[in-house]
Amino acid sequence: MLRCVVLDDEPLAREVLNGYLNRLDGISSVRQFANARDALLYLENHEADILFLDIEMPGMNGLDFLKTLTNPPVTVFTTAYRNYAFEGFELGVIDFLLKPIAYPRFLQAIEKIQDFLSLKDQNTRIENEPSQPLPESIFVKSGVQRIKLNFDDVTHIQGLKDYAIIHTATGRIVIKGSIKAMHEIFPASRFIRVHKSFIAAIARISRIDRNRLMINGNPIPVGRNYKEAVEKALFDR
């Protein structure tokens, strides 16, 4: 059962998210706040699983609010401004919903959150030593199972706090470990760091724009400091 907090200064935006959340099973509570001060006071004294966070608010904005939290819930940015997505990913948000938020897109975010929360509890870890990766695959341990993960199946990797979400053609695997550790394990001949929080499989990149690339229809941000290396990897092969 998930405990949710909605922080947004717009009453209609709070009403929409509250209505969406109340349509779902598995939601135990929804607390709504119109300002950062009240939400911060609540989160200092109560636990929450998910935070839906607006960015443009009077007083403390959503970016500064998230930075003040020592142990933030899994966070989704909700905003009318597309350009905040990159800053959000650098702060470890799991998703970015653009207003007005359509219900099917909201459900995609909820599915991503539920996958992350359930998979991280499995304590999955990579068994191979970073200095000795296998040429075509690695093994991950989940409970008593050992699963072979082929590099060819991996599309991209997202760093989220102390975890890495490995996206494959058929699903996701959540690994305890930083995006930096993943960068050391996955071979540089196949994977490239494209952002502070993202690694992409070079062969899976279908298009690159000025500040993002596409993999299987999913937009992946390209950080300013990584753009030159990304273009070199794609066009100098």
Structure tokens at 62: 């959503």
Q: Which of 60, 95, 120 is the last residue of a domain?
A: 120
104 and 208 share one domain: no
42 and 96 share one domain: yes
Pairing of strands 2-7, 50-54: parallel
104-119 tens-digit pLDDT: 999 999 998 998 888 7
87 and 174 share one domain: no
Q: Which of 120, 152, 172 is the last residue of a domain?
A: 120
For residue 34, give its domain range: 2-120
What secondary structure does DSSP assign to 97-149, as a single string? EESSPPHHHHHHHHHHHHHHHHHHTTT-EE-S-TTS--SSEEEEEETTEEEEE
pTM score, two decimals? 0.76
Torsion angles phi and psi, residue 81, rounded to 5: -115, 110
63 and 114 share one domain: yes
70 and 166 share one domain: no
Question: What is the number of domains present in the chain?
Answer: 2
Q: Which of 73, 93, 120 is the last residue of a domain?
A: 120
- Residue by residue, pLDDT tens for the chain (237 residues) are 899 999 999 999 999 999 999 999 999 999 999 999 999 999 999 999 999 999 999 989 999 999 999 889 999 999 887 777 667 777 889 999 999 999 999 999 999 899 888 877 776 777 655 445 556 888 887 766 788 889 999 999 999 878 899 999 888 888 888 899 899 889 999 999 999 999 999 999 988 887 889 998 888 989 888 988 888 888 776
227 and 130 share one domain: yes
- For the domain that residue 20 is a member of, what is the CATH number? 3.40.50.2300
* Angle subtended at Cα 205 by Cα 199 and Cα 210, rounded to the nearest 5 degrees: 85
Q: What is the pLDDT of residue 127?
A: 66
**R_g of the chain, CA atoms, integer Å:** 19
Element (H, E) at 230: helix 227-235
